[in-house]
Amino acid sequence: MDQQIEKTIHYVKREMMSQDGSHDWFHVERVWQNSIWIGSKEGGDQDVIQLAALLHDIADWKYHDGNEQAGPKKAQSWLEQLQMDSSIVNHVCEIIQDLSFKGAGASTVMSTKEGMIVQDADRLDAIGAVGIARAFTYGGYKKQEIYNPEVLPKLHQSFEEYKQSQTTTLNHFYEKLLLLKDRMNTATAKALAEERHKFMIYFLNTLQKECGLNLPVMDFES
């Protein structure tokens, strides 16, 4: 399996070479490494975990006109080229299909331990210092406003509503990033998420003070 993992690393690097910095190879690499770390504590099929982590953003719906099937299909095609067992292909593609956050009110429950681990690793990279950097990088890519007092955060109740929403980068913290700490699946990820969550609150409170923004002021320890 080591050979297939190595080929997948080279494939993903090549495919994501021109991706913006919020969803580039380095994001994938961090998710991959965090998945290995969480998996070492929580168990699970390490081959499935690594392949799903490496391929989780190979064709993200955000860059493919909202098509949530683009990623699983591209991952399936690649894994079949590697002549992987169909049970592994199906498991990896199921994880990729169900991985993404789909709105505050939309269910994104993973059905397997491997899926929970990869989802946790992906969500850890969306919060804390690196999460802040990625949020503003993606906001710039999408030409979003940083902040607009007339555009309020929304807790989207469906994936369609979430996909179609026009928002600001700061709203994204309230619509998604600040929700992720309590949606971690594993004990290992929950412990790691605590400090990253606190840092985001510190950042938002500092931004409030510096810019006089009308944001909800949060207790640093919340």
| Domain ranges for the chain | 2-211
Q: What is the pLDDT of residue 219?
A: 52
C-alpha gyration radius of the chain:
17
Q: What is the pLDDT of residue 108?
A: 76
Its pTM stands at 0.92
Q: What is the pLDDT of residue 222?
A: 42
**pLDDT tens across 202-211, in order?**
999 898 888 8
Q: What is the pLDDT of residue 158?
A: 74
Averaged pLDDT, 103-112: 79
Is residue 1 very low, low, confident or very high in pLDDT (cuts 50, 70, 90)? confident
Averaged pLDDT, 116-140: 97
Q: What is the CATH number of domain 2-211?
A: 1.10.3210.50
> How open is the CA angle 190-109-197, to the nearest 5 degrees?
30
- Residue pair 65/117 in contact (Cβ under 8 Å)? The answer is no
**pLDDT tens across 71-90, in order?**
999 999 999 999 999 999 99
The mean predicted confidence, pLDDT, of the chain is 90
Alpha-carbon dihedral angle through residues 26, 28, 34, 37, given to the nearest 10 degrees: -110
